[in-house]
């Protein structure tokens, strides 16, 4: 190695006496990495706490799965933490296809398909509108835009309960109250503040020169959006999608208020199955139904990983 040679030629200049002193010093005393015990008190404290906390977080999921795989007799006799002696998938089948809500007995499947029919269009429509809004706010600010935006953001903090009845009236006037269309509109409305903020901040963070260059090249509002902004913003669209899919899938209040029973989303269906007062409580079916309802957002969560964190952080912390 030429570098070492170069250095050594210089190092040779050190006086021999000094070298002796250092040679002596080199023999004695600490050298290299500071020894650390893997089981130091500090590590035990940190990992101990984290493991206990992790168990606390995992416990409900574990109990849910175990319960759903047991038969009712075993549940009545055993304890909820014990793994099933005999695994049965019957509760899952029943939860999916024949559990009763008090109104009907076609299980969660009806709610699942309703939720799909609600979530897919709501996600698409809300993101499409919010991204264009955010783009207009970031790059084409017009007089009054900031005022509307401020109202929108403040509105995000207003409890839904304050606004649901007026929305019922508006939807009734439009003739879509109780239908899926109505619910899609509601999700678009309440998704708008956070999504618009998300997109506005993202577009505002893109280099302004890019936008100016496109303007100089003669591109207009829609051309810039579709040809320049959209292709550059895929990550933020994915983040918005995660946010919306989990948010809309998990919604309960809007589902109850704005749809007729035949369109109830999965969460409402689930609550009706579990908390229905008729008949004997079938805890295994209930837990299977609960897992089924949680499966979609959990799937999104585990697949998206870091993007989910980014999504909620972006959603939670402004800009």
Partner 1 sequence: MENVSVSVKDLSLSFGAVTVLDTLNLDIKDGEFLVLLGSSGCGKSTLLNCIAGLLDVSDGQIFIKNKNVTWEEPKDRGIGMVFQSYALYPQMSVEKNLSFGLQVAKVEKTEIDRRISRAAEILQIQPLLKRKPAELSGGQRQRVAIGRALVRDVDVFLFDEPLSNLDAKLRSELRVEIKRLHQSLKNTMIYVTHDQIEALTLADRIAVMKSGVIQQLADPMTIYNAPENLFVAGFIGSPSMNFFRGELQLRDDRAFVHANGVDFDVSAYPSRGPFKAGQKVVLGVRPEHVRVDEASSGQPSHQAVVDIEEPMGADNLLWLKLAGQSMSVRIAGQRRYKPGTAVTLSFDMAVASIFDAVSENRL
Partner 2 sequence: MAGHTRGSGRPNQWSRNLNAKFASVPMILTAVVIFLGGTIWTVVYSFTNSKLLPRLSFVGLDQYERLWAAPRWLMSVQNLLIYGFFSLVFSLVIGFVLAALMDQKIRFENTFRTIMLYPFALSFIVTGLVWQWLLNPEFGIQSVVRSLGWTSFAFDPLYNSNIVIYGILIAALWQGTGLVMCLMLAGLRGIDEDIWKATRVDGIPMWKTYLLVIIPMMRGVFITTLVIIASGIVKVYDLVVAQTSGGPGIASEVPAKYVYDYMFQAQNLGQGFAASTMMLVTVAIIIVPWAYLEFGGGRKRA
Name the site residues for partner 1 (rule: CB under 8 A): 1-7, 9-11, 14-15, 17-18, 21-22, 25-26, 28-35
| Residue 120 CB contacts under 8 Å (≥ 6 apart), including other chains | none
CB 83 within 8 A of CB 66: yes
Q: Decide: helix, strand or coil at residue 178.
A: strand
CA 28 and chain centroid, separation: 56
Instruction: Express the helix, strand and coil content of the chain in percent, nearest 5 each.
Output: 75, 0, 25
Nearer to partner 2, 89 or 165 (CB): 165
217 binding partner (options partner 1, partner 2, none; Cβ < 5 to 8 Å by kind): none
3 binds, among partner 1, partner 2, none (CB under 5 to 8 A by kind): partner 1
Determine which residue in the list 244, 271, 282, 285 makes contact with partner 2, applying CB under 8 A. Answer: 271
> Judged by CB under 8 A, which stretch of 7-15, 16-24, 74-82, 86-94 contacts partner 2?
74-82
Residues contacting residue 128 through CB under 8 Å, at least 6 positions apart: none
Cβ neighbours, 10 Å, residue 78:
15
State which residue, 13 or 144, has the beta carbon closest to partner 1: 13
CA 278 to chain centre: 35
Cβ-contact 200, 134 below 8 angstroms: yes
Q: Which residue stretch of 9-17, 49-57, 94-102, 116-124 sits at the interface with partner 2 (rule: CB under 8 A)?
A: 49-57
What are the phi and psi torsion angles at 123 (to 5°)? Answer: -60, -50
User: Quick one: DSSP state of residue 29?
Assistant: S
Q: Which option in partner 1, partner 2, none does residue 25 bind, with CB closer than 5 to 8 A by kind? A: partner 1
Give phi and psi for 259, each to the nearest 5.
-125, 160
Range in contact with partner 2 (rule: CB under 8 A) among 28-36, 116-124, 231-239, 289-297: 289-297
Q: Of 15-23, 41-49, 85-93, 231-239, which part binds partner 2 (CB under 8 A)?
A: 41-49
From CA 269, how far away is CA 256, in angstroms rounded?
10
Instruction: Report the nearest approach of partner 1 to the CB of residue 27 (Å).
Output: 10
Q: From partner 1, partner 2, none, which one binds at residue 309 (CB under 5 to 8 Å depending on kind)?
A: partner 2
Which of the ranges 22-30, 99-107, 217-225, 227-235 carries the binding residues for partner 2, by CB under 8 A? 217-225
Among 44, 105, 169, 230, which residue sits at the site for partner 2 (rule: CB under 8 A)? 169
* 3-class DSSP assignment, residue 259: strand
Q: Is 227 in the site for partner 2 (CB under 8 A)?
A: no
Minimum CB–partner distance for residue 287 and partner 2 (Å)? 7
Phi, psi torsion values for 44, nearest 5 degrees: -60, -45
List CB contacts of 184: < 8 A, sequence separation 6 or more: 118, 121, 122, 125
140, interface contact from partner 1, partner 2, none, CB < 5-8 Å by kind? partner 2
Number of shown-chain residues binding partner 2 (CB under 8 A): 94
Strand partners, 178: 259
313 makes contact with partner 2 (CB under 8 A): yes
**Least distance to partner 2, CB of residue 58, Å:** 6
Instruction: Identify which of residues 192 and 236 has a Cβ nearer to partner 2 in the complex.
Output: 192
């Amino acid at each position: 190695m030429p570098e070492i040679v170069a250095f050594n030629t210089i190092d040779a200049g050190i006086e021999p006496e000094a070298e002796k002193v250092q040679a002596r010093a080199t023999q004695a005393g600490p050298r290299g990495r500071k020894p650390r015990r893997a089981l130091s008190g500090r590590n035990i404290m940190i990992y101990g706490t984290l493991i206990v906390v992790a168990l606390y977080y995992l416990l409900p999921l574990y109990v849910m799965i175990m319960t759903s795989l047991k038969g009712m007799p075993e549940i009545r006799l055993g304890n909820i933490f014990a793994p099933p002696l005999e695994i049965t998938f019957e509760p899952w089948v029943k939860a999916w296809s024949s559990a009763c809500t008090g109104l009907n007995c076609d299980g969660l499947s009806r709610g699942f398909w309703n939720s799909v029919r609600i979530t897919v269009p709501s996600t698409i429509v809300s993101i499409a509108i919010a991204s264009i809004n955010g783009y207009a706010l970031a790059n084409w600010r017009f007089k009054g835009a900031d005022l509307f935006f401020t109202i929108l953001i403040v509105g995000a903090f207003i409890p839904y309960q304050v606004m649901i009845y007026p929305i019922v009236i508006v939807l009734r006037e439009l003739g879509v109250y109780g239908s899926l269309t109505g619910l899609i509109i509601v999700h678009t409305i309440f998704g708008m503040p956070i999504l618009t903020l998300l997109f506005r901040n993202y577009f505002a963070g893109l280099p302004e020169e890019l936008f100016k260059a496109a303007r100089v090249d003669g591109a207009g509002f829609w051309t810039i959006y579709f040809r320049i902004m959209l292709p550059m913003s895929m990550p933020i669209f994915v983040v918005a999608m995660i946010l919306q899919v989990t948010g809309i899938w998990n919604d309960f209040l809007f589902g109850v208020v704005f749809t007729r029973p035949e369109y109830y989303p999965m969460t409402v269906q689930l609550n009706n199955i579990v908390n229905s007062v008729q008949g004997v409580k079938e805890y295994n079916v209930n837990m299977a139904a609960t897992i089924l309802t949680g499966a979609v957002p959990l799937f999104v969560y585990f697949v998206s990983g870091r993007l989910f964190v980014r999504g909620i952080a972006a959603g939670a912390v402004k800009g």
